[in-house]
Structure 1
Amino acid sequence: MNLIKTTLILVFFALFSCTEKEKAPKNEAPKNVILLIADGTGLTQVSTAFYFKETAPNYGRFKNIGLINTSSASHNITDSAAGATAFSSGEKTYNGAIGVSVDSTAIENIVEVISTKNINTGLIATSSITHATPAAFYAHALSRSLAEDIALDMVASEVDFFAAGGLKYFNKRKDQRNLLNELEAKSFVIDTLSLGDFKSIENAEKAGFLLAEDGMPKMTENRGDFLENATELGIEFLSKNNANFFMMVEGSQIDWGGHANEGEYLVTELLDFDDAVGKALDFAEKDGNTLVVVTGDHETGGLSLSSKQKVNQHGKEYSDYNDVNLTFSTNGHSTTLIPVFAFGPGSEEFQGVYQNNDIYKKIMKVTGWK
């Protein structure tokens, strides 16, 4: 009798579980996507937020996490140009390429695809706007070094909002053209002095901020809260009138700290990026229709978090396991797998291990944009 009763109970729970599974609501397609790229950031760089940030890291707010292989079409170890092109177009290419295939032909990027669907687009970086990562989202160039040509592509692009450095590539050019005037002729409100607030651009059709001659200042040089404020401003501008939008935000200089093997430089930039991630997540949580994807294009510096070596009172060296030390194995890039963090509708798609160009494909799949 007990055996029959136990069997019936198990059958009931099995049927109940199946029914609940069938009734579980599926996430709707996200109407907005915020892609945040921490340049030069692998898992170790992400880990610094958990040891050095005084408040809880925003990286800890994600449930759906994956890993990407970042190798380019030409090298096992990618550079930022090829890495960003994979993100922006879904195609792997050679190191140094901006929005072009291995045969040097232009590849359609996400901005070009979705602008035809009346979806607003924005780009933010702490580098120049012509630097490798942001450039791959609007430009096509055989080499990332062609900054003045890349700036021309910004004028021709359908980008609606941008904030970064790189002023000299627009108004101090070899060809004597003033691209600021050309941007204004394309309905941009351009500011080269300060980020300002939403009221200053609320009625603008497009808005652009070029706030440094080349890259923005370091966090250690008092850049302040530019990145998180630009992220918040970009969201507010691109989503006005309940519009759909895509925005890419890059923490560019985490990579530069890795190249320089400077721990303080790297960590302060990473923590600044984490604050920008927080702004994106705060909006996504309230909005309910926004997918947030956070990743890196590659790892820089071969960073490890080890214990500091110290000498005790007897002159004997020991490892202090309570004192985290940043050590580097290279001043270049490495080929370690890079974590991907996702939140919001469609975020489950970003679990697992896959290629960097699949980021684009997954975004397009869950949104239905292509």
Structure 2
Amino acid sequence: MNSEKTMKNLILLAPICLLITACNPVQKQGDGANSKQDSPNVILMIGDGMGMSQLSSVYYFKEGEVNISRFKHTGFSRTSSATQKITDSGAAGTAMANGVKTYNGAIGVDVDTNKVENLVKIVSRRNYSTGIIATSTLTHATPASFFAHSDARGKEDAMAAQMHNSEVDFFAAGGLKHFNKRNDGVNYLDSLMAFGFTVDTSALITKDEISADKKYGFLLQNGAMPKKIDGRDEFLPNATSLAIEYFKKIESPFFLMVEGSQIDWGGHDNHHEYLVGEMNDFDDAIGVALDFAEKEGNTTVVVTADHETGGYTLRSGKNEKGHTDYNVINPSFSTGGHSAAMVPVLAYGPNAEVFTGIYENTEIFQKILNLTK
């Protein structure tokens, strides 16, 4: 991106930030072990709606390398919410982001609607830089669980109003309308910039343009990002790569949550091609994270899901003679909603073995906290 285009695309604010403590440089060089990168980076990657069949589909419907094969430690997460056997993304996202079981539809609050601290806030106190990436709106249930608090997941405008005052240093997603086309008429892009964010509403910038002394927000669609089958570019792997390049320039460990949001929507629509396009894209983003973790050596990558969606099954199909053929896969769905199935947990890097076994989804929160001490 040339400088003229950068100036056109970036929404910048003159340094009124001098009066706002949140505008201090992002460099998190503090006292203690974390300042020298003794604690591992953590990249948590959530395939929304990704059960075992969704995960397996990559082996049958993706061309090229299957990155999930690179994991050696695997486990399973139980996903029921506090109030229902079948969870929604609000309760499941809160379980992983805040460590509590809550009711379906809750975001960052317990069953009594009390706010609960999230991973982003906690690890930020431990000198971690933090980021959130999603192919949904930033304020959708799962990503919102990592920075916001709401008694109802549908209150996306209210959750957008909380982002500028969060501990997030980097974000990339859709959802621009919840910041600048709100019913209350408030433009929260101004608030983001006042609190030190450089905000881009048109495209990701290049790694050469990223600076360690700024915070970055990319809101690239009014609503969610386009479907992969409708022509979405390499947004998810590219945003993951850009976030990593940003954090590499900051002398502190980092926590990054990356969500393949629309795997879930393909399941809800009972749309195999939609689902597979999102799964393959998510696997590409996983590859970006693993490439970095393998090279850097002090990064734990965790891949999991909030729940399974669609009752997706890779059942046998029929051959040209009309006979059942076990060499033919005929994907099918049993529901347009979520299911109670356990979901996979894959881990790579320092202490990856702690993610093996079968456990409640709240344990993912606790295991990550233990890593970042």
TM-score (norm 2): 0.88
- Structure 2 letter corresponding to 1:128: T
Q: Which among 147, 151, 161 is matched to residue 138 of structure 1?
A: 147
Q: Decide whether the 8 Å contact of 1:187 with 1:204 is kept in 2.
A: no
Which sits farther off after the overlay, 245-254 or 200-209?
A: 200-209
Q: Which moved more, 1:47-56 or 1:291-300?
A: 47-56
Deviation digits for residues 101-151 of structure 1 (CA, Å, limit 9, x no counterpart)? 001000000111122222100000000000000000000000000000000
| Structure 1 contact 228–275 (Cα < 8 Å) conserved | yes
Q: Counterpart in 2 of 1:212?
A: 221
**Offset at residue 199 of structure 1 (A):** 2.4
1:173 CA displacement: 0.8
Counterpart residue number, 1:357: 362
Amino acid at match of 1:319: T
Aligned twin of 1:89? 98
- Name the residue aligned to 1:275: 284
The corresponding residue for 1:191 is: 200
CA distance in structure 1 between the aligned counterparts of 2:119 and 2:248, rounded to whole angstroms: 18
Residue equivalent to 2:340: 335
SS in 2 for 1:242: coil
Question: Which of the numbers 86, 106, 122 marks the counterpart of 1:77?
Answer: 86
1:7 is aligned to none
Residue 223 (1) aligns with residue 232 (2): yes
**Which secondary structure does the structure 1 equivalent of 2:77 belong to?**
strand
Listed one character per residue, the Cα deviations across residues 172-204 of structure 1 (whole Å, up to 9, x for unaligned) are: 011111111111111101000001212223255
Partner residue of 2:310?
301
Percent identity (aligned) = 54
The CA deviation at 1:56 is: 2.6
Q: Which residue of 1 aligns with 2:372?
A: 367
Partner of 2:65: 56
Structure 1 residue 200 corresponds to structure 2 residue 209: yes
Tell me the distance in 1 between the aligned counterparts of 2:210 and 2:141: 27
Q: Does 1:347 align with 2:343?
A: no
- Aligned-pair CA distance for 1:30: 4.4
Q: Is the 8 A contact 2:212 2:246 kept in 1?
A: no
How many angstroms does 1:346 deviate by? 1.0
Paired AA for residue 258 in structure 2: V
Partner SS for 1:138? coil
Greater C-alpha radius of gyration? 1
Deviant stretches of 4+, over 4 Å: none
1:311 Cα deviation after fit = 4.7
Query: What letter matches 2:93 in structure 1?
Result: A
Pairs within 5 Å for 1:317-332: 317-332=322-337
**Quick check: 1:188–1:204 contact (8 Å CA) kept in 2?**
no
Structure 2 Cα separation of the partners of residues 243 and 236 of structure 1: 13
Distance, in Å, in 1 between the alignment partners of 2:362 and 2:38 is: 20
- The residue that corresponds to 1:25 in the other structure is none
For residues 238-285 of structure 1, give each alpha carbon's deviation from its aligned partner in whole angstroms, at most 9, with x where no partner exists.
Answer: 231332100000000000000000000000000000000000000000
Distance 2:125 2:93 in 1: 22
CA RMSD of aligned residues (A): 1.2
Q: Deviations over 1:308-329 (max 9, x none)?
A: 12451xxxx3112222111000
Separation of aligned partners in 1, 2:247 and 2:283 = 21
Aligned mates of 2:298, 2:209 — CA distance in 1 = 26
Output the CA distance in 1 between the equivalents of 2:299 and 2:247.
13
